Amino acid sequence: MDSLKVQSVETVDPGYNAAKNTANVEIKSDITKFQRLKRDKWLYLLLIPGLAYFIIFKYLPMWGIVIAFQDYSPFLGIFGSKWVGFENFIDFFKNPDFFRLLENTFILACLDLVFFFPAPIILALLLNELRLQAYKSVVQTFIYVPHFMSWVIIASITYIFFTTSGGVVNEIVSLIYGKEINFLSAPEWFRPLIMGQIIWKESGWGTVIFLAALASVDKEQYEAAIVDGAGRMRRLWHVTLPAVRSTIVVLLILRLGNFLDTGFQQIFLMSNSLNRSVADVFDTYVYFVGITQGAYSYSTAVGLFKGIVGVVLVLGANKLAKKMGQDGIF
Amino acid sequence: MKKRIKKRLFGKKVAIPAISAALLFSLAACSDSETSRSKSKDEKDSKNEIRIMTTAYTPDPPSDDSPVLKELEKFTNTNITMNWVLDSAYQDKLNITLASGDLPDVMMIPSKIPSFVSAVRDGAFWELGPYLKDYPNLSKANEITLQNSAIDGKTYGIYRARPLGRLGVTFRSDWLNNVGLETPKTIDDFYNVLKAFTHNDPDGNGKDDTYGMVVSKYNGPWDIMQIWFGAPNKWGEKNGKLEPDFMSDEYMNALKFFKKLYDEKLINEDFAVMDPQKWGDPLLNGQAGVIVDVLDRGRRADEDLKKADPSLKEPIDILGAVEGPKGLRSLPTAGYSGLLAIPKSSVKTEKELKQVLTFLDKVNEEESQKLAYNGIEGRHYEVKDGKLVLLTNNDQALINEFTDLNQFHMGIPEDRFIKPEMTPVREKEQVILKENEKIVVPNPAESFLSEVYAQKGQQLDNIINDARTKFIVGQIDEAGFKDAIKLWRSTGGDDYIKEINDLYKKTKK
């Protein structure tokens, strides 16, 4: 029974355990693959429903991707529609919209990494420094709330606050500067607004995972650091941050998988004819072309392109992380 | 049997999960609504079944057990299943439904959108042209409107008739009195009214809290107003060739006028970001005095304002158009608002098609129109001395029993429901509808279908509409607008122009 436990852990993360426990390596060499299969048959059996779920609901629908290589019409079906090879992709790359979309998406994605990604970490570190437990829980609960609001509500709140006809923010701005600023329609304000919204909405919720990681930091390390004469900042830098570093890296890699996902709803709700030059991103483009114009094949091609970029980024980042001595995600 | 084969193949221990996986598969197959629906169709042979998908403007449209819908079912001898979709989400839902292939028996198509056109060309819808003559009402459909709504010259949907001259101006006539002006006749008068509404305290409260005209994100008002300046309706003829409206000088003149309105703050500054659903609010709140839209807005605003403040005498007046350099001109509607199309995948045989058409024909009868527009006599309304008396007393639940039921009514050959007693605004509306018809500017390319537009129409329209808004708020100047036209042309506009002109030449021969 004991060996079985060790074994099952090992299948999850062989590298990690092998390095830690040399005894494992001996056990592994003792039995063949087939023997392990036979011994753990019930575990494998348990695996089947999960596998079935993924095959049926995640992998089978993926065949839909083939319409990216067709001139697809729902009434002719996948088998009746004409094959066009890479025509949809070529059309897309040649489209004058392509570089604008790429630029807008890329800038938003980078801003997201630079401003939004660190926000929950900083917030979690700040929360972690709070001494009074009751106060900390209250603050934590309050900063979760925006996460549960839909983008529609947040867009309306933004509109009410920032509109030029009687918006609170603009009232204040005009008191100070003497004139109002068109936050909602000026292209240069689009990105700050988007960043502000997402940080306001999601950074509180994002702290959950980091706080969990922080909770597992060994108390003795802090005590040792105090004995060595480390101040608050030193402790933060040399104890707390290294402890959550692997969490940060894993989340960063996962985030890169959605690098080009700018979030459809938020962008869509905040875009208008005056800021469209900076607001058009792949997600809104796929919607416009695919849903409102019914160009299913073309928009599938665009979506597929986005997905491939995501896969490449995840694999690349994972490799890089491993090279730099981090765990990575697989 | 199945179990035994599985046993032999994988051994007993794998059998249970394998079967459970098979069960999952069959479950997924069962949820397919097609199979369950066709069964119920066979069972009910005596009464026809019809599923209708159309728009709803109230969030609470009539449910399947609405007494009005029940009456309509009795009258048409049909079981009706409504699939209501809120108007704001209709086009998305329509495209998704088209893509899913699981279509209702009658579906409302708001305009000749690309996905519908391509579906028609793939043979997904019945061509109705040859059948219409067999039905007493449908056979009286207007030829020109049929032509306008046709695809490749053939009828694939029955239009929902709307007055051609339905667009105009709604304004506060009490404000006009307060500032001592007459009903505007020319564009200059119109401008002066807006100016007075902004600066001369038209509501007499001593505060500078009003402005001239409210505009929203929706482009309609600009389209309506630029016609006054002599701009063509979408396509204008120049040297025997068709050219898009925005390439004309008149269009630029109109744009400059709009910019002036914006710069002088005679219209709301946030129009480019304003949700069209909130568009009417400033008028009803007494913040703005003018709105350019369909004329029925005037009548509705009139009734709403009076309801909110009974001391108001005649707060609203309407007019069709103001005179510009080319005289009186008005933007027409296409004469219809949406088509009722019949998919081949749900209505499989000619016999079924005829049943559906019989139903649609019957919907045009007086009895059915009264149900949809007036409700049930004795429950929602009464007729006293030939006059319509409402019994709904603003009871929303009662009103919701029939509102939106007119969303699958065609009004062919004419409206036959009971019209409410004429308020002055309603009377005027009828007059202006007729007057507008004389001054409407037709779109010479209305019935043409362009391949390029089917593919890129949305992007093309966006380029120009965005540029128009940017010009009005001063983000770009005239040169910038010319750049937008250049972009439009290189994005596919040139092909579009060529295609339309080829079609135009063909019709001219």
* pLDDT at residue B220, rounded to an integer: 92
- Identify the closest residue of chain A to B103 by CA–CA distance: A75
- The C-alpha atoms of residue B211 and residue B280 are separated, in whole angstroms, by 14
- The C-alpha atoms of residue B294 and residue B145 are separated, in whole angstroms, by 19
Q: Is A165 exposed, middle or buried (0-12, 13-18, 19+ CB in 10 A)?
A: middle
A76 touches chain B (CB under 8 A): yes
The answer to whether the CB atoms of A48 and B21 lie below 8 A apart is yes
Element housing B158 (H / E): strand B157-161
- Chain B residues with CB inside 8 Å of A77's CB? 101
* pLDDT at residue B46, rounded to an integer: 53
The answer to whether the CB atoms of B20 and A49 lie below 8 A apart is yes
Mean pLDDT of chain A: 84
A185 touches chain B (CB under 8 A): yes
pLDDT higher than threshold 50 for residue B105? yes
Give tens-digit pLDDT for B69-93. Answer: 999 999 999 999 999 999 888 988 9
Summarize the confidence of residues B158-177 as an average pLDDT. 93
- The C-alpha atoms of residue A27 and residue B240 are separated, in whole angstroms, by 90
- Identify the closest residue of chain B to A78 by CA–CA distance: B99
- The C-alpha atoms of residue B55 and residue B409 are separated, in whole angstroms, by 12
User: Angle B474-B277-A164 (CA atoms, 0-180°, nearest 5)?
Assistant: 40
* pLDDT at residue A7, rounded to an integer: 44
Contact A154, A201 (CB under 8 A): yes
Chain A residues 112-141 with a CB less than 8 Å from chain B: none
* pLDDT at residue A223, rounded to an integer: 87
Least confident of A213-222, B251-260, B289-298: A213-222
- Chain A residues with CB inside 8 Å of B114's CB? 293-295
Q: What percent of chain B has pLDDT over 90?
A: 59
Name which of B459, B114, B110, B452 is nearest A284 in CA terms. B459
Confidence of residue B188 (pLDDT cuts 50, 70, 90): very high
Q: What percent of chain A has pLDDT over 90?
A: 28
What is the number of H-type helices and E-type strands within chain B?
Answer: 21, 13
Chain B residues 63-102 with a CB less than 8 Å from chain A: 91-92, 95-96, 98-101
State the amino acid at position B299 in one-letter form.
R
* pLDDT at residue B380, rounded to an integer: 92
Chain B residues 250-269 with a CB less than 8 Å from chain A: 268-269
pLDDT higher than threshold 50 for residue A210? yes
Give tens-digit pLDDT for A53-73. Answer: 999 998 998 888 898 998 888
Minimum distance, in Å, between the CA of residue B217 and any CA atom of chain A = 8
pLDDT higher than threshold 90 for residue A35? no
* pLDDT at residue A307, rounded to an integer: 87
Q: How far does CA B359 lie from the centroid of its chain?
A: 23
* pLDDT at residue A28, rounded to an integer: 54
The answer to whether the CB atoms of B119 and A96 lie below 8 A apart is no
Long-range contacts made by residues B487-496, C-beta under 8 angstroms, separation at least 24? B487/A96, B487/B463, B488/B460, B488/B463, B488/B464, B490/A96, B491/A96, B491/B456, B491/B459, B491/B460, B491/B463, B492/B452, B492/B455, B492/B456, B492/B459, B492/B460, B493/B244, B493/B460, B495/B452, B496/B450, B496/B452, B496/B453, B496/B456, B496/B460
- The C-alpha atoms of residue B455 and residue B449 are separated, in whole angstroms, by 11
Minimum distance, in Å, between the CA of residue A30 and any CA atom of chain B = 26
- Chain B residues with CB inside 8 Å of A165's CB? 268-270
The answer to whether the CB atoms of B119 and A159 lie below 8 A apart is no
Closest CB to B95 among A185, A187, A291: A291
- The C-alpha atoms of residue B194 and residue B499 are separated, in whole angstroms, by 41
Name which of B121, B344, B100, B156 is nearest A74 in CA terms. B100
What is the number of H-type helices and E-type strands within chain A?
Answer: 20, 2
- The C-alpha atoms of residue A245 and residue A256 are separated, in whole angstroms, by 17
- The C-alpha atoms of residue B63 and residue A267 are separated, in whole angstroms, by 35
SS (H, E, C) A188-242: HHHHHHHHHHHHHHHHHHHHHHHHHHHHCCCHHHHHHHHHCCCCHHHHHHHHHHH
Max mean pLDDT among B115-119, B412-416, B493-497 falls in B493-497
- Chain A residues with CB inside 8 Å of B119's CB? 73-75
Summarize the confidence of residues B476-498 as an average pLDDT. 94
- The C-alpha atoms of residue B488 and residue B331 are separated, in whole angstroms, by 23
A274 touches chain B (CB under 8 A): yes
Radius of gyration, alpha carbons of chain A = 25
Confidence of residue B34 (pLDDT cuts 50, 70, 90): very low
- The C-alpha atoms of residue A290 and residue B115 are separated, in whole angstroms, by 10
Contact A90, A96 (CB under 8 A): no
- Chain A residues with CB inside 8 Å of B490's CB? 96
- Chain B residues with CB inside 8 Å of A52's CB? 17, 20-21, 24
Higher pLDDT, B121 or B104: B104
Least confident of A113-122, B45-54, B214-223, B482-491: B45-54
Contact B174, B312 (CB under 8 A): yes
Higher pLDDT, B492 or A293: B492
Minimum distance, in Å, between the CA of residue B429 and any CA atom of chain A = 32
Both tokens of residue B408? 């699958």
The answer to whether the CB atoms of A294 and B470 lie below 8 A apart is no
- Chain A residues with CB inside 8 Å of B23's CB? none
The answer to whether the CB atoms of A273 and B25 lie below 8 A apart is no
* pLDDT at residue B47, rounded to an integer: 63
Contact B92, A292 (CB under 8 A): yes
- Chain B residues with CB inside 8 Å of A187's CB? 475
What pTM was computed for the model? 0.77
Residue identified by tokens 């947040």 is A154
The answer to whether the CB atoms of B122 and A165 lie below 8 A apart is no
B270 touches chain A (CB under 8 A): yes
The answer to whether the CB atoms of B490 and A165 lie below 8 A apart is no
Both tokens of residue B461? 């329209």
Q: What percent of chain A has pLDDT over 70?
A: 90
Chain B residues 215-234 with a CB less than 8 Å from chain A: 217
Summarize the confidence of residues B376-385 as an average pLDDT. 89
Which residues is B293 bridged to in the sheet?
Answer: B168
Both tokens of residue A203? 């950074």
A61 touches chain B (CB under 8 A): no
Confidence of residue B419 (pLDDT cuts 50, 70, 90): confident
CB pairs under 8 A between A and B: 105
ipTM exceeding 0.90, yes/no? no
Give tens-digit pLDDT for B281-338. Answer: 999 999 999 999 999 999 999 989 998 888 888 899 999 999 999 999 999 988 899 9
Confidence of residue A27 (pLDDT cuts 50, 70, 90): low
The answer to whether the CB atoms of B20 and A272 lie below 8 A apart is no
Question: From the candidates B214, B273, B281, B452, which should be mutated to test the interface with A, based on the most A CB atoms within 10 A?
Answer: B273
Confidence of residue B157 (pLDDT cuts 50, 70, 90): very high
Mean pLDDT of chain B: 87
Q: Is B24 exposed, middle or buried (0-12, 13-18, 19+ CB in 10 A)?
A: middle
- Chain B residues with CB inside 8 Å of A60's CB? none
Closest CB to B273 among A76, A185, A292: A185
Q: Is A265 exposed, middle or buried (0-12, 13-18, 19+ CB in 10 A)?
A: middle
B110 touches chain A (CB under 8 A): no
pLDDT higher than threshold 50 for residue B40? no
Cα separations (Å) of A28 from A18, A24, A284, A330, B132? 10, 6, 51, 20, 80
